[in-house]
């Protein structure tokens, strides 16, 4: 299901071509009608970006004008807050439809800002849901490669919040491999070049964090506030990374779509057989067969991480089978890790509350509490930026009308 008929036709044609190529026992249906799509569904996967690249451009360029250079701006920061405000009404509408049309379905959310979206849905709906990301598994692969151990033999215990979870244990056949990593990074050198932010935070906090270095830098107050710091940590100056990311999205789509068109036409074979690191298919398989699958889920904190607020959206090891989701108890995070997570949770909570109540002042305070914004702007400088974001995005913010 998509509201864009052109993209819907493209992906539906691709799926049908894959089914035909591999003689799979599957039927592909495509519709622009959400209710038709949801009727009697067992699983609902949500991947949306309300306002598309037009709204995203505002998320990036307006804060940049005021001196806030976000790397991506889809999770925290002024951009993440406003993406959340655009997403929440639509996510809640999907949940309302599901309550009527498929109340027993599992909702798997891939849409950012992950924590804000999931938090709002848990507050307002009884639909079973889980938030899915690939940050943990991509980082695990990176750490295995960096430490020189086979990826499939790396054991880890990771917990925190989405895009800021911590590898609390990292082992290979019972051996702690953190000492290998500490020894290898040593003084700044080649091994650190692409991950300077994360290695810097590991040196500061003692644990490696999920999410790529550029992304990570925008959730913290330390790095993206001065040009010389960004250059020191191997990032472009103000206006570099975030605008590059925006424009590269525009420029990279057409070659991607052209490749899909050739696959649909049978001019090139559709790659098939290698599993991705995404969790969705494995979760469905576990629910249908009872074969237990372990992954990191974004889920409501019900005493799972004891030094983060109950009700917040946390990312913890979770098992799934025919009986549903079984999130694991973690206990306390190391206090320095919990403190950084809590700084992000405060912004997420105020964003959700402000959206639910249609309270613009609460949104101003959410942005005011954002670590990167606080590092760059005084309170009186934050307000006009928030006002401008509200003004240019009001068509996507019905809760504030």
Q: Which residues are catalytic?
A: 134, 219
CA-based end-to-end distance of the chain: 28
CA-based nearest residue to 89, from 298, 393, 392, 398: 398
Supply the DSSP string of 140-177, one letter for each residue: HHHHHHHHT--GGGEEEEEEEETTEEEEEEEEETTEE-
For 265-323, where are the alpha helices, taking DSSP H only?
280-289
Q: Please, are residues 297 and 132 in contact by the beta-carbon 8 Å criterion? A: yes
> 189 burial class (0-12, 13-18, 19+ CB within 10 angstroms)?
exposed
For residue 234, give Cα distances in angstroms to 214, 223, 350: 10, 11, 33
Q: Which residues contact 21 (CB under 8 A, 6 or more apart)?
A: 269, 270, 272
The Cα angle at residue 160 between residues 180 and 312, in degrees rounded to 5: 180
Q: Please, are residues 210 and 139 in contact by the beta-carbon 8 Å criterion? A: yes
The Cα angle at residue 234 between residues 228 and 239, in degrees rounded to 5: 65
Q: What is the rounded distance in angstroms from the CA atom of residue 174 to the CA atom of residue 99?
A: 45
CA-based nearest residue to 351, from 82, 95, 109: 82
Q: Please, are residues 160 and 341 in contact by the beta-carbon 8 Å criterion? A: yes
The Cα angle at residue 74 between residues 252 and 398, in degrees rounded to 5: 110
């Amino acid at each position: 299901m998509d509201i864009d008929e052109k993209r819907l036709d493209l992906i539906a044609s691709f799926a049908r071509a894959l089914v035909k190529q591999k003689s799979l026992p599957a039927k592909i249906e495509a519709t622009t009608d959400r209710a038709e799509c949801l009727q009697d569904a067992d699983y609902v996967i949500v991947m949306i970006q309300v306002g598309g690249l037009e709204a995203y451009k505002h998320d990036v360029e307006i804060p940049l004008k005021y001196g806030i250079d976000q790397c991506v701006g889809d999770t925290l920061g002024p951009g993440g807050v406003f993406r959340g405000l655009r997403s929440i009404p639509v996510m809640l509408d999907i949940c309302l439809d599901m309550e009527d049309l498929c109340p027993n379905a599992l909702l798997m959310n891939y849409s950012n800002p992950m924590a804000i979206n999931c938090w709002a849905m848990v507050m307002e709906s009884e639909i079973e849901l889980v938030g899915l990301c690939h940050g943990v598994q991509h980082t695990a692969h990176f750490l295995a490669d960096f430490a020189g151990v086979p990826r499939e033999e790396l054991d880890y215990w990771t917990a925190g919040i989405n895009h800021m979870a911590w590898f609390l244990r990292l082992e290979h056949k019972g051996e702690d491999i953190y000492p290998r990593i500490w020894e290898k990074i040593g003084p700044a050198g080649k091994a650190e070049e692409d991950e300077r932010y994360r290695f810097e935070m590991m040196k500061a906090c003692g644990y490696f964090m999920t999410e790529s270095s550029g992304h990570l830098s925008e959730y913290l107050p330390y790095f993206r506030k001065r040009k010389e710091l960004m250059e020191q940590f191997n990032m472009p100056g103000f206006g570099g990374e975030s605008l590059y990311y925006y424009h590269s999205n525009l420029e990279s789509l057409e070659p991607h779509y052209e490749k899909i068109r050739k696959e649909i036409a049978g001019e090139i074979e559709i790659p098939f057989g290698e599993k991705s690191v995404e969790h969705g298919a494995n979760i469905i398989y576990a629910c249908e067969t009872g074969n237990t699958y372990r992954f990191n889920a974004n889920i409501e904190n019900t005493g799972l991480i004891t030094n983060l607020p109950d009700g917040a959206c946390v990312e913890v090891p979770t098992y799934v089978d025919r009986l549903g989701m079984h999130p694991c108890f973690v206990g306390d995070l190391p206090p320095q890790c919990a403190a950084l997570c809590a700084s992000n949770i405060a912004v997420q909570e105020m964003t959700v509350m402000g959206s639910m109540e249609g309270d613009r002042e609460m949104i101003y305070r959410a942005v005011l509490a954002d670590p990167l914004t606080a590092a760059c702007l005084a309170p009186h400088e934050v307000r006009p930026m928030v006002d401008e974001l509200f003004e240019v995005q009001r068509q996507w913010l019905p809760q504030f009308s």
